Amino acid sequence: MQIEPRPLDDPDVQALIDEVQLEYVRRYGGPDHTELHPEEFAPPRGLFLLAHSGSTPLGIGGWRAYDAGHPGLRDGDAEIKRMYVRADSRRRGIARRLLEALERTAVDAGRRRMVLETGTAQPEAIAMYTAAGYAPMHERFGIWADSESSLYFAKELPRIRLAREAELPLLQDIERAAGEQFAELGMTFVADDAPPTVSELHRYLVAGRNWVAFDDGGAPVAYLIAEPVDDALHIEQVSVHPGHARRGVGRDLLDHAAGWARDHGYSAVTLTTYRDVPWNAPYYERLGFRILGDGELTPALRRIRSHETELGLDHRPRVAMRRELGS
Domain 160-324 falls under CATH 3.40.50.10490 = no
The pLDDT confidence band at residue 67, using thresholds 50, 70 and 90, is confident
Segment 97-110 mean pLDDT: 95
Give the lowest-confidence range in 86-90, 195-199, 207-211, 267-271.
86-90
pLDDT at 248: 94
Beta bridge partners of 238: 224
Q: In what order do the strands lie in the sheet with 46-53?
A: 2-5, 46-53, 56-66, 77-85, 113-119, 150-156, 135-136
The pLDDT confidence band at residue 300, using thresholds 50, 70 and 90, is very high
- pLDDT of residue 50 exceeding 70: yes
Distance CA 141, CA 288 (A): 40
pLDDT at 327: 59
For the chain, give every domain's residue range.
2-156, 160-324
The pLDDT confidence band at residue 172, using thresholds 50, 70 and 90, is very high
Kindly report the CA angle at 259 between 253 and 263, in degrees rounded to 5?
A: 145
Q: Identical fold at 2-156 and 160-324?
A: yes
Segment 124-148 mean pLDDT: 94
pLDDT for 201-217, tens place per residue?
A: 999 999 999 999 999 99
- pLDDT of residue 137 exceeding 80: yes
- pLDDT of residue 68 exceeding 90: no
Segment 8-32 mean pLDDT: 95
Segment 106-117 mean pLDDT: 94
Element (H, E) at 220: strand 220-229
pLDDT at 238: 97
- pLDDT of residue 12 exceeding 90: yes
The pLDDT confidence band at residue 1, using thresholds 50, 70 and 90, is confident
Domain 2-156 falls under CATH 3.40.630.30 = yes
**Main-chain dihedrals φ then ψ at residue 244, nearest 5 degrees:** -125, 15
pLDDT for 246-289, tens place per residue?
A: 999 999 999 999 999 998 889 999 999 999 999 999 999 999 99
Distance CA 43, CA 147 (A): 31
Segment 100-107 mean pLDDT: 96
The pLDDT confidence band at residue 69, using thresholds 50, 70 and 90, is confident
